[in-house]
Amino acid sequence: MKTESRLFTGVAAFFAVSAAGYGWFAAEPAGTAVLAVAFLMAALVAFFCRVQYRRHGLRAQDHRDAEVRDTAGPLDFFSPHSPWPVIVALGAVLVALGIVYGLWLVLLGFGVLAPGVAGLVFQYARREGQRAGESSDGSGSGAGSGMSTRSS
């Protein structure tokens, strides 16, 4: 993630300079706003990549002599049967339709979207790094349980 972080930091810096220059010389608010939003999105991705790099360290892809097999295996837990993505999608559709048909539908959409996002984010909040195949006491049930599948 170190390389990706640097790449998106450069993209964010480009959009920041472009937004400042465009805002100064063009004095047109729509283009300036678009460039500012592009800067914010690139900065968000750069921040996420930097945090992931600090949290997990170097990945196998960051080494010059890495093989494809160095990254094999499960990397994290993914929920197999979660209803929250469907609820988030339904809320997003209601918000989008509300923009066309009226404010009442936007409010209804946000009423569906907010609990959906909260449920999606916090459904495994008390999991504390428990990996798939481990019991809740952390003893594990499979070979190599309790060990990270990432290579360093």
pLDDT higher at 73 or 22: 22
- pLDDT tens digits, 82-137: 899 999 999 999 999 999 998 999 999 999 999 999 998 888 877 665 554 555 45
pTM of the entire predicted model? 0.50
pLDDT tens-digit map of 12-53: 999 999 999 999 999 888 999 999 999 999 999 999 989 988
| Geometric angle at alpha carbon 30, from 4 and 96, rounded to 5° | 75
Separation of alpha carbons 40 and 107, rounded Å:
26
Distances (CA, A) of 90 to 31, 95, 98, 151: 31, 9, 12, 39
Rounded-to-integer distance, Cα 96 and Cα 142, Å: 46
The pLDDT-based confidence of 146 (bands split at 50, 70, 90) is very low
Residue 119: CB atoms within 10 Å: 15
Query: Residue 145 has what pLDDT?
Result: 44
Q: What integer pLDDT is reported at residue 93 of this predicted model?
A: 96
Asked which of 4-8, 75-79, 131-135 is least confident by mean pLDDT, the reply is: 131-135
